[in-house]
DNA sequence: TATGAATGAGACTTCATTCAT
DNA sequence: TATGAATGAAGTCTCATTCAT
C-alpha cells in the first residue's frame, strides 16, 4: 500500500468524463501523491509548524501556489497525511483473528508493526509528533475511529484469555505495549542510531530487533 | 528533583556574598525556574518551532525582553530545557547496580521510569518531539553522553546474563524496550486517554500500568 | 548610465520568451530599479544600520515583504547598491589612455569625476560611509577588483612620467588626490553648503569648482 | 591635546567643594575621558545608529547605566564626541597668519592636517560619517561656528592674493581642497590600504604622502 | 493547471532607556 | 557613583495565503 493513494479516508472526486479529463486526473493523482510524500518527509523532520510550504513544494518539484491548488491549506495537507498514516497503521490490528492461536496472531502483528516502522519511519514520526503534541488535529479521529477499532480487538484478546490460551494481561496495555516497542525504532531512530551505531546492516538489525522483542513479549504473555 | 534547578548541566553561578547579592540571585534563580517550567509546557505542546517566546513569556509572567535577558535566544532556552530533561531522565539508569539481583534492579528501574512519566509528562514529550524530529539540537549529546552511560549499563546486564541470573537478551534492546514502554504513557498520553477514557483515577491507572508492564517484561527476562 | 540597471555586476536574467514573460520581467526590472534608487537615498542619509527597510520600502512605494522578494536581505540590497556604485565610479578611470596626452586625459578624468559627484551625490555618500566605516562589506572587492584596476592605470601614469610628459609624482597619490578632491563635493555637501551658502546656482557652482580644482592640480603636475 | 578632555566646548561643571568631591571629580574626569575615547572608536566603526551603548560601555569598562550617568543619552554622547573633534580639527586653521608668507603658512597647515589624520583617524571618520550622512546633529554648528572661522581665514588668503604673494585661486575651494586631500588618508584608510598594501612603514608612508600632496598643491598655488 | 508577484500577520531579537537599590 | 533587572519600541525577516494572469 502506498502512502498518499488511500482512497478510503482521503476524499477524492471520482474522475469521470472525456479522455482529456482522465489524463489530467492522472496528472492530478501523481501530483497529489508527490505532494503527500514530500509533505510526510518534511513534516517528519520539522513538525507541523516547523515545516514550510516552500520546503514541501520544492521537494515535490512544484510551485507553492500549485501545491495549494491541490490542498487548499497547510492544515488540510497535514490532515491528509495523518489520515493516510493512521489507516496503514491500523490495518494490521484489524486482522487479529480470534479463531487463530494468539501466539500466531500476536507474533504476526508484531512482525507487521516492525515492518511498518522499517518501511515508513517518516510517516511514523509524523504521527508520533502529532500525538506527543497533544493531537491538536487528530484528537477527534482518535476518540472515535481508533477507539472503536481497538475496543473490538481488545475483546478478541479477552476471549483468548478466557479460553486459557494466553496469560491474563490487560488487553489495552498489551496492545499499547506492542505499539510502543515496535514504533520506538522508527520514532526514536536517531537515538537508536546513537546507541547502536549507524553502520549496521538494516536487514540484520531488524531481524535482531524482531527476535529480541518477540522473545520478551511472547514469553511474557504465555500462560504459565 | 525539580526541573530548571539542575546544577550539574546548567551552569549557575554560586551565590556568595552580601545579602543584597543573595536576594538578587534568588530573583534570578526564581525567574530561571519559572521560565524553564513555562518553556517545558509550551514546547511540549507546540514543538520548538511552534512554540513562541510570547507564549512562554506570558506563561512565565514576564516580558519577552526580560525572558531574553535570562536566555539569550529561543534555541538556548530550548537547549537548557532539554539538558535538564536528559539529566533527570538518565538518573535512574545510572543507578543500576550489578551487585544486586537483576529482578530487583530492573523492576526498580521500571518503577522509576514510570514515575518520571507520571511526574514530568511534558518534559518527556519535549524530549520525544526532539528525537522524533531527528534531534537537530540534541544529536551531539546523544552521540557522546547518552551513548557512554548506556554502554556502561549494557555491561552490567551482560554480567547478569553471564552469571545466569537472567535470560540471554540483548541489553541494548532490553533498555530501549523499557524506555519505549514506560515513556509511551507520557508521550502518547492523548492516545492512551482516547483508548482508556480520561476519567480514570490517576493513581489506580499508574498502578495498573506498572503491574501490566512488569508482568510481561519481568517474565520475559526470567532465565528459563 | 542609470543606477540599478548595471548588468555587468548585478546578475539579471535576460528576458527572452513569450510576451507574457517579457512583461513580467519588466515589472521585475522596474521594481529592482525603484528599490535600488530608494535604497541609495536612504542608505546615504542614515548609513547601513541607520536605514530601515520600512523607509526604503515606503520610498519605493512597495510593501516590505515585496521588497524582500527582490532582495532577500538588507545586506544583499546594500551590496547590490554598492556594486552598482563602484562600477560607475571606476568607469572613467578605466578610460585613461596612455596614447593620449596626460593633460587631456587627466583633465577629462577630473571632469567626469566631478560630473559623477554632481549626478549621484547620494551614491557617492553611500560609498564614502561604507569606506569610512572600515568597508565591512566591500573590503574583498577593494582588495581585488579596485586594486587591479588602479594598478593598471598607475602604470599608464608612470609611462607618461618616463616620457617626460608630466611631473614626477607618485601615481597612486595623484589618483587618490583626485578622488579626494572631486568626491569631497558630494560626500561633504552639507559642509560645502554651510560654507558657500545653499542658494548658489548649481551649474555655476560646479563650473567654479571644476575651474579651481583643475587650476591647481593641472598646474601641479605640469613638467617644470 | 587629548580627545575627550576639551573644556572649551564640552560644558563641565567646575568642581568646587570639599576634598572628597574633588577626588570623585577626578574619577569623573577619568571616566568621561574613557567614555569619549571608547565612543569615538565605536562610532567610527559603526556610525551613530550602528554603534550600541553596550559596545561603548564594554570598551570603556563600565556598566551601561553608569555610562548613562555621565552622558544621559546616546545622542548627547555623540554630540560630545563631535564637538571635541571639531575643535581639534579647526585649531590649525585658526592659526593661519596673514603676516607670514603664504607658502609657509599653507605648508604648515597641510602638515598639521596630515598629522591630525595620522593621530586621530577614528575621530576623523566619525566626523566624515556625520557630514556624509547630512550632518543631522552637527548642522547648526557648521552653519555658525565653522562658517565664521572659515570666513575669517578666507579673508587672509584673499589678502595674500591681492598682495601678489600667491596665485589667484578661490580661497574657499583651496581650503576645501586641502581638507579633502588631507582627510582622505584617515577617512578612506581602508581603501588606501587596499591600494598601497598595509605593510608599509607608517612613518615613511606619511612622509611620502606629505611630500606628494605638497608638491602638487604648493606648486598649484604659486604665483606664476 | 500553473506560477510570478504581492502582502498581512506575526516571529525573533536588539537596544536605548528606566527602575530600584 | 554604580549596577542588575526590566521593558517599550522598533527592526529584520518568515510564511501561509491570495491575486492576476
D216/C216 Cβ within 8 A: yes
Question: Which residue's C-alpha cell is 579626494?
Answer: C180
Q: CA–CA separation, D184 vs D128, rounded Å?
A: 10
* Alpha-carbon torsion (A151, A155, A160, A161), positive or negative: positive
Please state, as a whole number, how many other Cβ atoms lie within 10 Å of the Cβ of residue B197.
Answer: 10
Average pLDDT over residues C46-67: 93
Give residue D25's pLDDT band: very low, low, confident or very high (50, 70, 90): confident
Chains C and A contact (Cβ–Cβ under 8 Å for 3 or more pairs): no
Flag whether pLDDT at A24 surpasses 70. no
Dihedral sign, Cα of residue B112, residue B115, residue B117, residue B121: negative
Q: Return the nearest residue to E13, CA–C1'.
A: B73
Q: CA-CA distance, B193 to A176, in Å (whole number)?
A: 12
Please name which of D214, D109, D223 lies closest in space to residue D169, comparing C-alpha atoms.
Answer: D223
In whole angstroms, what is the distance from residue D207 CA to residue A28 CA? 77
- Could you tell me the three cell numbers for A50? 516547523
Residue C65 clears pLDDT 90, i.e. is over it: yes
Nucleotide nearest to D54 (CA to C1'): E15
Is A135's CB within 8 Å of B190's CB?
yes
Does residue A3 register a pLDDT over 60? no
CB C18 within 7 Å, strand F = no
Q: CA C33, C184, D80 angle in degrees (round to 5)?
A: 100
Interface check D194 vs C, CB under 8 A: yes
Q: C99-126 pLDDT, tens per residue?
A: 999 999 999 999 999 999 999 999 999 9
Residue D117 at interface with chain C, using a CB cutoff of 8 Å = no
For chain B, say whether A6 makes contact (Cβ under 8 Å).
Answer: no
**How far, in Å, is the CA of B72 from the C1' of nucleotide E13?**
9
A143 Cβ within 7 A of any nucleic strand F atom: no
Region of B102 please: left (phi>0), alpha (psi -120 to 50) or beta.
Answer: alpha
Contact yes or no for B141/B89 (Cβ under 8 A)? no
Q: Is A180 exposed, middle or buried (0-12, 13-18, 19+ CB in 10 A)?
A: buried
Q: pLDDT at position C178, please?
A: 95
Model confidence band, residue B197 (pLDDT cutoffs 50, 70, 90): confident
Residue (of B7, B43, B13) closest to B28 by Cα position? B13
Predicted local confidence at residue D127, as pLDDT = 93
- According to the model, what pLDDT value does residue B154 have? 96
> C with D: how many residue pairs have Cβ under 8 Å apart?
173
Probe site for chain A from B136, B186, B194 (most A CB atoms < 10 A): B194
CB contact (8 A) between residue D191 and residue C49: no
Nearest to D216 by CA among D177, D163, D168: D177
Helix (H, G, I), strand (E, B) or coil at D180: helix
C25-29, C211-215, D92-96: lowest mean pLDDT where?
A: C25-29
Q: Which residue of C has its CA nearest to D177?
A: C181
User: Concatenated DSSP letters for D105-123?
Assistant: HHHHHHHHHHHHHHH-HHH
Coil, strand or helix: which one is D137? coil
* Nearest-CB residue to C195 (from D150, D187, D191): D150
Q: How confident is the model at residue A27 (pLDDT cuts 50, 70, 90)?
A: confident
Q: CA nearest C150: which of D180, D192, D183?
A: D192
Q: Does D touch A (3+ CB pairs < 8 Å)?
A: no
Give strand E nucleotides closer than 7 A to any protein Cβ.
Answer: 1-21
Q: Does the C-beta of A63 come within 7 A of strand E? A: yes
pLDDT of residue B204: 87
Q: Do chains A and B touch (3 or more CB pairs under 8 A)?
A: yes
| Digit-coded pLDDT (tens) for A51-68 | 999 999 999 999 999 999
What is the tally of helices (H) and strands (E) in chain B?
11, 0
For C152-195, the pLDDT digits (tens) are 999 999 999 999 999 999 999 999 999 999 999 899 999 999 99
- Report which of residues C223 and C125 the model is more confident about: C125
Is D188:C131 a contact under the CB 8 Å cutoff?
yes
Distance CA(A134)–CA(D198), nearest Å, equals: 62
Please give the grid coordinates belonging to residue D48: 551613530
Partners of A176 on chain B (C-beta within 8 Å) are 184, 188, 192, 195
Res. B37: pLDDT tops 90: yes
CB contact under 8 A, A181 and B183: no
**Cell numbers found for residue D98:** 596673514
For residue A212, with 0-12 CB atoms within 10 Å meaning exposed, 13-18 middle and 19 or more buried, which class applies?
buried
| Chain B residues lying within 8 Å of A75, measured CB to CB | none
**Closest by Cα among B224, B223, B189, B221 to B205:** B189
Residue B198 DSSP label: T
User: Is the CB of residue A71 less than 8 Å from the CB of residue A35?
Assistant: yes
Look at residue C17 in the predicted model and tell me its pLDDT: 38
Q: Residue B20: pLDDT band by 50, 70, 90 thresholds? A: very low
Q: Which residue of D has its CA nearest to C135?
A: D190
Q: What is the pLDDT of residues C187-220, one digit of tens each?
A: 999 999 999 876 667 888 888 899 989 988 998 8
Would you say the C-beta of C65 is within 7 Å of strand E? yes
Does the pLDDT at position A95 exceed 60?
Answer: yes
pLDDT range class, residue B220, cuts 50, 70, 90: confident
Q: Are A10 and A80 in contact (CB under 8 A)?
A: yes
CB-nearest to D219 from C128, C142, C219 is C219
Strand F proximal to D66 Cβ, under 7 A: yes
Q: What is the pLDDT of residues D102-160, one digit of tens each?
A: 999 999 999 999 999 999 999 999 999 999 988 988 898 899 999 999 999 999 999 99
Which residues in chain A are contacts of B208 at CB distance < 8 A? 170, 173
Q: Are D44 and D126 in contact (CB under 8 A)?
A: yes
Q: Does B173 touch chain A (CB under 8 A)?
A: yes
Q: Is D90 helix (H, G, I), strand (E, B) or coil?
A: helix
Q: Per-residue pLDDT averaged across B6-14, rounded?
A: 34
**Distance, Å, D65 CA → E17 C1':** 9
Greatest Cα pair distance, chain A, in angstroms, is 66
CA atoms within 13 A on the CB side of C28: 14
pLDDT tens figures, A132-168: 988 988 898 899 999 999 999 999 999 999 999 999 9
Calculate the angstrom distance between C1' of F9 and CA of D186: 36
Confidence (pLDDT) at C3: 35
Residue D183 has a pLDDT of 93
DSSP per residue, A73-114: SHHHHHHHHHHHHHHHHHHHHHT--TTS-HHHHHHHHHHHHH
Q: What angle do CA B99, B100, B104 make, to 5 degrees?
A: 160
Give the gap in angstroms from C-alpha C24 to the nearest C-alpha of chain D. 36
The better pLDDT of the pair A10, D216 is held by: D216
> If you measure CA to CA, which chain C residue comes closest to D148?
C195
- Does C142 sit within 8 Å of D194, measured CB to CB? yes
Closest by alpha carbon to D156, among D80, D115, D105, D201? D105
Q: Is D7 left (phi over 0), alpha (psi -120 to 50) or beta?
A: alpha
C-alpha cell at position B72: 539569550
Is C183 at the interface with chain D, CB within 8 A? yes
| Largest interatomic CA distance in chain C | 65
d(CA B59, CA B37): 9
Q: Which residues, 6 or more positions from A175, have their beta carbon under 8 angstroms from its beta carbon?
A: A93, A150, A153, A154, A157
In the 17-46 segment of chain D, residues within 7 Å (Cβ) of strand F are 24-25, 27-28, 31
Q: What is d(CA D110, CA D116) in angstroms, rounded to the nearest whole number?
A: 10
pLDDT in tens, B131-154: 988 898 899 889 999 999 999 999
Alpha-carbon gap, residue C50 to A206, rounded angstroms? 59
**Taking a contact as any Cβ pair under 8 Å apart, which residues of chain A between 37 and 76 contact chain B?**
44-50
pLDDT at B199: 67
Nearest to D139 by CA among D82, D181, D76, D81: D82
Partner-chain residue, chosen from C132, C192, C217, that has the shortest CB–CB distance to D187? C132
Which position has the grid cell 588618508? D185
Work out if B129's Cβ lies within 7 angstroms of strand F: no
Give dist(CA C15, CA C124) in Å, integer: 30
Three cell numbers, residue A55? 520546503
Distance, in Å, from the CA atom of A67 to the CA atom of A56, rounded to the nearest integer, reads 9
**Could you tell me the distance in Å between the CA of residue B58 and the C1' of nucleotide F4?**
22
Q: Which residue is nearest to nucleotide F18 (CA to C1')?
A: A65
Answer yes or no: is pLDDT of B1 > 80.
no
Cβ contact D50–C46 (<8 Å): no
pLDDT of residue C22: 45
**Other beta carbons within 10 Å of A129:** 23
DSSP state of D61: T
pLDDT of A122 higher than 50: yes
> Is pLDDT of A205 > 60?
yes
> How far does the CA of residue D106 sit from the closest CA of chain C (Å)?
14
Look at residue A13 and tell me whether its pLDDT is greater than 90.
no
Dihedral pair phi/psi, residue C10, rounded to 5°: -105, 105
pLDDT category at D24 given cuts 50, 70, 90 is low
pLDDT reading at B189 higher than 60? yes
Which positions of chain F lie under 7 Å from any protein Cβ? 1-21
Dihedrals φ, ψ of B85, to 5°? -60, -50
- Among candidates A125, A212, A219 on the partner chain, residue whose Cβ is nearest the Cβ of B170: A212
- The span from the CA of C207 to the CA of C184, in Å, is 15
Three-state SS at A13: coil
DSSP A71: S
Chain A residue with the nearest C-alpha to that of B132: A187
Instruction: Measure the CA dihedral C115/C107/C100/C223, to 10°.
Output: -160
Integer-rounded Cα Rg, in Å, for chain A is 20
Tell if the CB–CB gap between A195 and B46 is shorter than 8 Å: no
Distance CA A200, CA A181 (A): 20
Q: Is C83 helix (H, G, I), strand (E, B) or coil?
A: helix
**Strand F: which residues 5-64 of A lie within 7 A (CB)?**
51-54, 64
Q: What percent of chain B has pLDDT over 70?
A: 87
How many other C-beta atoms can be found within 10 angstroms of the C-beta atom of residue C177? 24
Q: What is the dihedral of CA A208, A212, A217, A223, to 10 degrees?
A: 110
C-alpha cell at position D104 = 609657509
Checking each nucleotide's C1' against the CA of D25, the nearest proves to be F1
B219 contact A CB<8A: yes
Q: How far apart are CA D126 and CA D142, in angstroms?
A: 15
Q: Where are the alpha helices (DSSP H) in C120-170?
A: 121-132, 139-141, 147-162
SS3 call for C39: helix
Q: Which of D201, D222, D171, D183 is nearest to D86 (CA)?
A: D183
Contact D125, C132 (CB under 8 A): yes
Contacting residues for D157 by C-beta, under 8 A, at least 6 apart: D96, D102, D166, D171, D174, D175
Amino acid at each position: 500500500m502506498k502512502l498518499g493513494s488511500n482512497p478510503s479516508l482521503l476524499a477524492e472526486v471520482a474522475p469521470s468524463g472525456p479522455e482529456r479529463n482522465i489524463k489530467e486526473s492522472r496528472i492530478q493523482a501523481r501530483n497529489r501523491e508527490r505532494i503527500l510524500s514530500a509533505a510526510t518527509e518534511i513534516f517528519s523532520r520539522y513538525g507541523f509548524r516547523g515545516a514550510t510550504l516552500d520546503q514541501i513544494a520544492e521537494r515535490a518539484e512544484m510551485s507553492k501556489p500549485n501545491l495549494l491548488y491541490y490542498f487548499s491549506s497547510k492544515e488540510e495537507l497535514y490532515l491528509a497525511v495523518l489520515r493516510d498514516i493512521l489507516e496503514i497503521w491500523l490495518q494490521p490490528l484489524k486482522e487479529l483473528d480470534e479463531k487463530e492461536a494468539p501466539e500466531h496472531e500476536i507474533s504476526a502483528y508484531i512482525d507487521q508493526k516492525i515492518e511498518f516502522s522499517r518501511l515508513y519511519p517518516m510517516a511514523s514520526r509524523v504521527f508520533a509528533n502529532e500525538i506527543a503534541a497533544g493531537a491538536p488535529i487528530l484528537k477527534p479521529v482518535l476518540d472515535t475511529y481508533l477507539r472503536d477499532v481497538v475496543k473490538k480487538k481488545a475483546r478478541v484478546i479477552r476471549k483468548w484469555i478466557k479460553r486459557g490460551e494466553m496469560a491474563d494481561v490487560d488487553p489495552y496495555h498489551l496492545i499499547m505495549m506492542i505499539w510502543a516497542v515496535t514504533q520506538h525504532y522508527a520514532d526514536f531512530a536517531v537515538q537508536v542510531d546513537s546507541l547502536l551505531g549507524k553502520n549496521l546492516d538494516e536487514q540484520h538489525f531488524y531481524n535482531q530487533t524482531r527476535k529480541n522483542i518477540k522473545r520478551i513479549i511472547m514469553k511474557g504473555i504465555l500462560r504459565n
